[in-house]
Structure 1
Amino acid sequence: MDLDPELSALGALGGFFVLRTGVAPRGPLPTLAHAYATTASDAAADVYRDPLTFRVHKVAQSLHTPESRVAASIAHQGLVARLWCAALGCAALYDRVPDLDPRWLHWDPDGSTPDDLWLGEVHALPVDALDVVVREAHLVPLTAALVFRHGVSARLLWGNAGSALAGAVRMIDRWARTGGRVDVAERARALAAGLFAHPDLSGTLDAATGRRRSCCLYYRLPGGGLCGDCCFDRPPGRD
């Protein structure tokens, strides 16, 4: 099945999979290419001048954390989950992936969760381009930007990426089994296995348990606890 211009089939999988296409009705939004490339990092950052720092500040305020690296990790996890879901969802449903070139993919840093993404034009690529479309085009520059600007560990961020990819597979699997589309679930698992073979993602999760080998720092939020796949059995520093 080829991609349809509105990627309408993704809507059935849930909000994290939806990828809007065309021109955003709220006017032009920053591209992710701009977000990855900006070097400013100050409290005055705005949506257009420094969208990535703006998003980290927004998450920090929303979650009441003074720690920039914690907010950066949570913001990163939300965006990465959206990228994996949109790309893997298309690959599993259509056997094609859209070209998610960061220059064409618009993002609303001031939006709610799940992150709001708009793809200017839909161009189909073979399914074996999945790694390039997400990891190479987005995760590599996004990781570099957050490590440099917010002091987050690269290992932690790749752990976020592995966790988000596994989460996308689980969501597709639940939908597919409910709807009798076992073929879709099998395709998603096979594609994810290939993605996890790359050194950036290999070893981010324990193969036997599916638990992370790094922590996203969610436990450091006020009232935060442990995620379901956390590497810890109890929050560090607590009895």
Structure 2
Amino acid sequence: MTSLRPVPSVSVARALTDVAGLGSFFSLTTGDADGEWRPVSDAYAAGLGHLVSARAARYGTPEPRIAASIVQLGHAARLWSPILGCVIVHGVIPDLGGLQQRVDGPELRLPAPRGWEAPRDGTLTQVLYRLVMEDHLAPLSAGLRVKVAPRLLHGNAASALAEAARDLLRAWPELGPSITRLATDLLRTRKLRGLGEFTGPRLEFRRRSCCLNYRVPEGRKCGDCSLDRKAPGHSI
């Protein structure tokens, strides 16, 4: 990231505040902390165990990998959503160095709003892929206490990316071409390649793996599930 051009902190703060209005998955707070937080790297090393345990208890499932999958999917959404929103709408990439997670919940925060100008030299896709997939989701996957297939976890990342892009399109339809182009390019990148594709003009999405949500008691297939032949659309 050292070759990227830094932007003023006020610009990053403004971008984060703007996109946070789209919902909880887009919320990445900065500044003074309310409650207890810890470095997200510590949470990854523990496999987000506090969230996986709570989710397994909530579902009443004997398969902990299902809870781990759904928690990882939600965390991927909390990474992709503010990142894509800030890039698409404001041309800013938030610096996730120092990212923290609430001790008793999934929420994320940054101690300070720092970031870079989104590059225009064709490297943006690789920068964002590295930021989310390699710097965050890879160590989270390595820290999970239960075995979950890598293809499933990468499919979750693709699904979360697509959902974020779809939310942005609904909020800023005039930015449709930019949203579609960036999301499509990311879905063609490395470990996201071949795990899903957009199937309609509103960025309807069909993934090629399953997050396992349908296996919990009273569970159901998600709208973008590879097992469901109905029209795509995801709910985390």
TM-score (norm 2): 0.82
Does 2:44 align with 1:33?
no
Ranges of 4+ aligned residues in structure 1 off by more than 6 Å: none
| Map of 2:214 onto structure 1 | 219
Two-structure CA RMSD over aligned residues (Å): 2.0
What CA distance in whole angstroms lies between the structure 2 residues aligned with 1:145 and 1:206?
A: 28
Q: Kindly report which structure 2 residues correspond to 1:96-111, keeping only aligned pairs within 5 A, or say none.
A: 96-101=92-97, 104-111=98-105
Does 2:113 align with 1:117?
no
Unpaired runs of at least 5, structure 2: 1-6, 119-123, 230-236
Opposite residue 16 of structure 1, the aligned amino acid is F
What CA distance in whole angstroms lies between the structure 2 residues aligned with 1:51 and 1:150?
A: 9
Opposite residue 19 of structure 1, the aligned amino acid is L
Q: Secondary structure at the match of 2:26?
A: coil
Opposite residue 139 of structure 2, the aligned amino acid is P
| Map of 1:145 onto structure 2 | 143
Q: String of CA shifts for 1:18-57, please: whole Å, max 9, x gaps.
A: 1100232113x12111122x3xxxxxxxxxxx47112110
Percent identity over paired residues: 40
Q: Secondary structure at the match of 1:118?
A: strand
Q: Kindly report which structure 2 residues correspond to 1:1-239, keeping only aligned pairs within 5 A, or say none.
A: 3-5=11-13, 7-27=16-36, 29-36=37-44, 38=45, 50=46, 52-101=48-97, 104-111=98-105, 115-127=106-118, 128=124, 129-146=127-144, 149-177=145-173, 182-183=174-175, 185-206=176-197, 208=199, 210-233=205-228
Opposite residue 42 of structure 2, the aligned amino acid is H
Q: String of CA shifts for 1:150-171, please: whole Å, max 9, x gaps.
A: 1110000001000110000100
| Map of 2:233 onto structure 1 | none
Unpaired runs of at least 5, structure 1: 39-49, 235-239
Q: What is the CA-CA distance between 1:124 and the residue it aligns to? A: 1.4
Opposite residue 144 of structure 1, the aligned amino acid is A
Opposite residue 32 of structure 1, the aligned amino acid is V
Q: String of CA shifts for 1:156-204, please: whole Å, max 9, x gaps.
A: 0001000110000100001113xxxx12x33222221221121210111
User: In structure 2, do the counterparts of structure 1 residues 201 and 207 end up closer, same or farther at CA, with 3 Å as the change threshold?
Assistant: same
Cα pair 1:19 1:117 within 8 Å, conserved: yes
User: In structure 2, do the counterparts of structure 1 residues 95 and 79 end up closer, same or farther at CA, with 3 Å as the change threshold?
Assistant: same
User: In structure 2, do the counterparts of structure 1 residues 161 and 109 end up closer, same or farther at CA, with 3 Å as the change threshold?
Assistant: farther
Q: What is the CA-CA distance between 1:207 and the residue it aligns to? A: 5.3
